[in-house]
């Protein structure tokens, strides 16, 4: 499943709400009335939801069903909390893009997403616009006692952020940003926001 635009997410949310209320999928006209948009515009959004894997075509009365077969199995939504650029403060996302659809296994109740901005991470094959799904660490930083805790997002006392593999040895440990020429960020000088659970990439506009 691929990320959705704000309009596509609105259509998906409305479709799910209708299905839960009526026990069936809505027609294009019914969706158009609820969304106060033309049927042709709604059809374009439905086609995009099919391409991105959130809807499946079938032989039913309205020709579509939610991927996974139920309203909850197709996926979930996590908040997009910021734009991440190496060595800069995390900036707020645009108002039109506050939530990100994700596959259900990634939807930890405390999970959030960050959108990469810039090409600083290109050497690690991470592109501008890629989305990082982050799972916060437990209370008190539970999980930091591992020698190799995997990629994490960190923020230093000045509010600058980056991410990279976290290694506990040698003490005090450090995060190693996948940026050419970047120095390690010592763990005793940063706040670990959470582990990176997944990378999502949007291939079409």
pLDDT in tens, 68-113: 543 343 457 788 899 999 999 999 987 766 777 777 777 777 889 9
Residue 142 confidence (pLDDT): 45
Q: Kindly indicate the confidence band of residue 14, based on its pLDDT and cuts at 50, 70 and 90.
A: confident
27 neighbors 19 (Cβ within 8 angstroms):
no
Closest of 22, 36, 118, 25 to residue 67, by C-alpha: 25
Evaluate the CA torsion angle 7, 10, 6, 95 in order and state its sign. positive
Average pLDDT of the chain? Answer: 82
Q: Choose the most confident range, by mean pLDDT, from 22-31, 63-72, 105-114.
A: 22-31
Which domains, ranges and CATH numbers included, belong to the chain?
6-66 (1.10.10.10), 76-200 (2.10.109.10)
Residue 75 confidence (pLDDT): 57
pTM for the structure as a whole: 0.65
Between CA 12 and CA 14 the distance in angstroms is 5
Prior bond of 62 cis (ω within 30°): no
Q: What are phi and psi of 96, to 5 degrees?
A: -80, -5
Only one residue has tokens 């704000």, namely 6
pLDDT > 90: percent of the chain: 42
| pLDDT per residue as tens digits for the range 132-172 | 999 887 544 444 554 445 699 999 999 999 999 988 888 88
């Amino acid at each position: 499943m691929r990320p959705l635009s704000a309009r596509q997410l609105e259509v998906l949310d409305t479709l799910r709400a209708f299905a839960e209320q009526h026990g069936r999928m809505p027609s294009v006209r019914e969706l158009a009335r609820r969304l106060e948009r033309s049927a042709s515009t709604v059809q374009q959004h439905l086609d995009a939801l099919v391409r991105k894997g959130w809807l499946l075509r079938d032989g039913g009365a309205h020709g579509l069903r939610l991927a996974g077969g139920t309203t909850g199995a197709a996926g979930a939504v996590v908040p997009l909390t910021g734009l991440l650029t190496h060595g800069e403060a995390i900036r707020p996302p645009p108002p039109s893009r506050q939530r990100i659809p994700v596959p259900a296994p990634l939807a930890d109740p405390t999970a959030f997403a960050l959108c990469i901005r810039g090409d600083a991470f290109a050497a690690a094959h991470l592109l501008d616009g890629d989305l990082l799904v982050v799972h916060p660490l437990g209370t008190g930083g539970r999980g930091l006692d591992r020698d190799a805790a995997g990629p994490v997002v960190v923020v230093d006392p000045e509010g600058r952020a980056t991410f990279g593999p976290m290694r506990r040895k040698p003490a005090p440990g450090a995060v190693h940003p996948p940026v050419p020429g970047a120095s390690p960020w010592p763990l005793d000088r940063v706040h670990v926001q959470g582990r990176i659970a997944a990378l999502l990439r949007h291939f079409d506009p």
